[in-house]
Structure 1
């Protein structure tokens, strides 16, 4: 318990270190297509880019096409994207967004923001790059161009 903070609250992340260099907290979320996804299932297998976003977020809309580019390029090499939407009760809007931008990566739903809180997401978008061992390697807050040379080099270095 932290002095001065109410006890018994679940608004704080379970782990005080969901940050660069630490193991990414595990979670299970339902996906837009009705399946479930567990982050730990990728451990030892894939490099994962988690992206927290919302349909109403202009920078999210701008970066999604760059995410689709890098996903298409590296998916067969062991790269996965989990786009975690934080909005409650907007599945049709999410479907329309995905269709409009022709996104093919998995869309996970976090309507109660439990996973967002685990990762201490306080703004949108937030992108977290996780290596094959499940360690958080980078955390980008705000718009990020995933199709540029520096981003590709980051992903490629983790895929080696």
Structure 2
């Protein structure tokens, strides 16, 4: 019986140690850093983007709301060209690079896509589905978390991003 309780004590200690520091990703907190590869194989580190407003979107090629919002994301990205703004479209497709490239080729659309085929980063961010978007300020603090698709090309949305950039 003593061995059982000793084993349980060790297990509880390990679980506590492993989960410590894994705070929920919420508005007002610094976004967890990550490194993912883009379609060309280049590693992108979120921490390297400090000084820019970051649009961090989790999506998948098989997701209808994701596909619906991509054209508006492209327009937003074009509207922010030349400004301290970075769009990161993190694909959670199991097919990884091939799935994303095939989708872009067939659809004629294109985003600055990163690959998270094992869902490690989407899990770290606590996403519950796709699309989900996190808006980060120039210091890497999460200003907004948006669950679901939206029209990112709306003039009010573009004005919001311009206002964040001007801070």
TM-score w.r.t. structure 1 length? 0.87
Q: Which residue of 2 aligns with 1:115?
A: 121
CA shift at 1:17, angstroms?
3.4
Q: C-alpha distance in 1, partners of 2:72/2:125?
A: 22
Provide, for residues 16-67 of structure 1, a one-character-per-residue CA deviation record: whole Å limited to 9, x for no partner. 23111110000001111111100000012x1110000000000000001100
Sort the Cα spacing of 1:53 and 1:13 in 2 relative to 1 into closer, same or farther, 3 A.
farther
2 CA distance for matches of 1:24 and 1:138?
A: 11
- Normalising by the residue count of structure 2, what TM-score does the alignment of the two structures yield? 0.83
**Counterpart-to-counterpart distance in 2, 1:135 and 1:90:** 28
Residue-by-residue CA offset, 1:114-142 (whole Å, 9 max, x unaligned): 11011100111001111111010111000
Matching residue within 35, 41, 49 for 2:42: 35
> Are residues 13 and 19 of structure 1, via their aligned partners in 2, closer, same or farther at CA, if it must alter by over 3 Å?
farther
- Quick one: which of 127, 134, 142 aligns to 2:133? 127
The question of whether the paired residues in 1 share the 8 Å contact of 2:96 and 2:116 is answered with: no
More helix by share: 2
The runs of 5 or more residues in structure 1 that have no matched partner are none
3-state DSSP of counterpart to 1:122:
coil
- Number of the residue aligned with 2:3: none
Which 5+ residue runs of structure 2 have no aligned equivalent? 1-11
For these two proteins, the number of residue pairs brought into alignment is 153
Question: What is the aligned-residue RMSD (CA, Å)?
Answer: 2.2
Q: Which residue in 2 is equivalent to 1:144?
A: 150
